[in-house]
Chain A
């Protein structure tokens, strides 16, 4: 069993929809949680960064961490075609030695 599980999708939604992306994990020692966005044929870029449990909001993006359930989520409000990308969750115990999920492909249709 992988340490981090993420549904690969693809997830296809109409423009303006609310998108929910999720990851589950098995290692209770993880305390840093991140979401990276990767456009086609590009390197991943950091989208959201959370330490421990709770919510974090940045514009149309909200990251949630529930350590009791070992579950993290990324919500995208008012989704745009430019949000079409692969979204990778990542987490770590100490900071920068990350374990990534497989990535979810998101397609936002105009």
Chain B
């Protein structure tokens, strides 16, 4: 199916483990984003990418690593997970142009760090 998909949808891990959240989009959108959503904070931007091999930090990048070797994939890695990284993570994509604020979100990846 076309769209933006995230995996895994649910993940439980332990402090110190490495975790990778996957994001795949089929629209060939230029921009891709990773947000985390926490109660009281709304959505906060972790990293974004304007194109393959171009990434930049958002508001809360510490503890996260991203890469974008292909336009359609934008994985997010927590190199050494901490409890404060327990959150719901959303991947999004958008096209450049007139309605660049229209982000298309995945269904989210719910991560629990014990």
Contact = CB atoms under 8 A, between A and B. Distances in A.
Interface string A71-110: 0000000000000000010101011111111110000000
A44 B43 contact: yes
Interface string B15-45: 0000000000000000101010000111111
B98 to A, nearest CB: 9
Contact of B105 (A6, A43, A96, A102): A43
Given A95-B100, A101-B42, A45 B105 contact: yes
A102 B41 contact: yes
B35 to A, nearest CB: 8
Contacts, number: 63
A43 B106 contact: yes
B105 A97 contact: no
Interface residues of B, number: 24
Contact of B101 (A43, A44, A88, A96): A96
B16 to A, nearest CB: 28
A21 interface: no
Nearest to A96: B100
Interface in A1-48: 4, 6, 8, 32, 34, 36, 41-46
B31 A96 contact: yes
A38 B8 CA distance: 20
B43 A42 contact: no
A90 B101 contact: yes
Interface of A: 4, 6, 8, 32, 34, 36, 41-46, 49, 88, 90, 92, 94-103
Given A34-B102, A90-B43, A98-B45, 18 more contacts: A8-B40, A34-B101, A41-B107, A41-B108, A43-B90, A44-B43, A45-B105, A46-B101, A46-B102, A88-B43, A95-B101, A96-B101, A97-B45, A97-B48, A100-B44, A101-B42, A102-B41, A102-B42
